[in-house]
Structure formats: C-alpha cells, structure tokens
C-alpha cells in the first residue's frame, strides 16, 4: 500500500470527494485508510452507570485506498506515488515534481546534510588553528614543620 499514516490525501470519489485531510490510520491488510473528517459516522453510546451521560459520538470511518490520492507537500497537487532508491533505502517520490513524500525520510536527509556541513565546518576549524592543550600545574603543599622540633 502506497499510503501511510500522517500523509495528506485528497478524496477523489464518494460523498466526501474533494476534501483534503490527514490519514489517521492505515490498514494495509484490509486495503483501507481512516481519514480525518471523511466518512463521518454516528455512534450511540449508552450510559453504563449513574455518573455517565448517554451521547451520540461522531467518528471517522474507513474508506478504500483506491478512493484517495496522496497530496505532495512541495507542489501541493494530488499525485501518484513512485518509488526511488536513494543510497540503501527505497523512498516514496512524487511523480509530478520528484520530491520526497516520506516526512521521516525528508527529516533524515536534512539531518544528514546538516551533519555533513557541521563535519565540514569542524574539519575547517581544526585545519585553521592548531590545537594546544593547556596543562595546569598541581600545587604541592610542603609538609608542615613542627614548631617544637
């Protein structure tokens, strides 16, 4: 299944067609997803004790994966998902603009780039000035002489 939890998706068919929302739950075995505010169903909750109050709750129901498309975070368009191998990882990519769709992967790439720049800055800093180590001398107290001796 090409859609994951926390993806921004566009509903393309059904009574909620045209809505854009976040995926709350992905169920790959059932080939379904639960999207926030889509396929809203009413659930009646009966009071089970004297303290509780009976109420009607609204909850989002599952819809089929074929009824939604991933929205690319960079070009902000509904797109199909392509796969690309970067390094040793297989990542999801937007077919329209080529941007990474995995938020975690984007963060990892940014972290790796940040580490590389920090490492480059550190090597430049070590090359510019030689490292010197300051040593402190320990003060040794002379043994106290007896006044009577």
Q: Give me the phi and psi of 68, to 5 degrees please.
A: -130, 155
Residue 128 confidence (pLDDT) above 60? no
Residues 64 and 9 in one domain: yes
pTM of the shown model: 0.65
- At 11-66, the pLDDT tens digits run 999 999 999 999 999 999 999 999 999 999 999 999 999 999 999 999 999 999 99
Q: Is residue 90 part of a domain?
A: yes
Shared domain check, 2 and 63:
yes
Residue 109: name the closest of 84, 126, 79 by CA.
84
Do 67 and 1 fall within a single domain? yes
Q: Is residue 7 part of a domain?
A: yes
For residues 18 and 36, state if they share a domain.
yes
Summary mean pLDDT of the chain: 85
34 belongs to a structural domain: yes
| Co-location of 26 and 67 in the same domain | yes
* Count of domains observed in the chain: 2
The CATH code of the domain that includes 14 is 2.30.30.30
The two three-digit tokens of residue 50, written as one number: 């004297």
Read off φ and ψ for residue 118, nearest 5 degrees.
-65, -40
Give the count of alpha carbons within 13 A of 40, CB side only.
8
Pick the closest to residue 110 from 122, 118, 5, 4 (CA basis).
118
Q: What is the pLDDT of residues 130-141, one digit of tens each?
A: 566 667 776 667
Spatial separation of the C-alpha atoms in residues 83 and 98, rounded to whole Å: 10
Among 80, 86, 38, residue whose Cα is nearest residue 63: 38
| 130 located within any domain | no
User: Does residue 67 sit in the same domain as residue 85?
Assistant: no
Domain hosting 111: range is 80-124
């Amino acid at each position: 299944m090409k859609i994951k939890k926390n993806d921004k998706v566009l509903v393309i068919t059904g009574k909620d067609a045209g809505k854009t929302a976040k995926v709350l739950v992905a169920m790959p075995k059932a080939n379904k997803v639960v999207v926030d505010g889509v396929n809203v169903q009413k659930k009646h909750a009966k009071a089970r004790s004297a303290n509780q109050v009976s109420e009607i709750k609204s909850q989002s129901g599952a819809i089929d994966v074929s009824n939604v498309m991933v929205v690319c975070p960079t070009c902000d368009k509904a797109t199909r998902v392509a796969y690309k191998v970067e390094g040793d990882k297989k990542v999801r990519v937007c077919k329209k603009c080529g941007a990474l769709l995995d938020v975690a992967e984007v963060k990892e790439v940014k972290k790796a780039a940040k580490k590389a720049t920090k490492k480059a800055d550190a090597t430049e800093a070590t090359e510019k000035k030689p490292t010197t180590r300051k040593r402190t001398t320990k003060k040794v107290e002379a043994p106290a002489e007896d006044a009577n001796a």
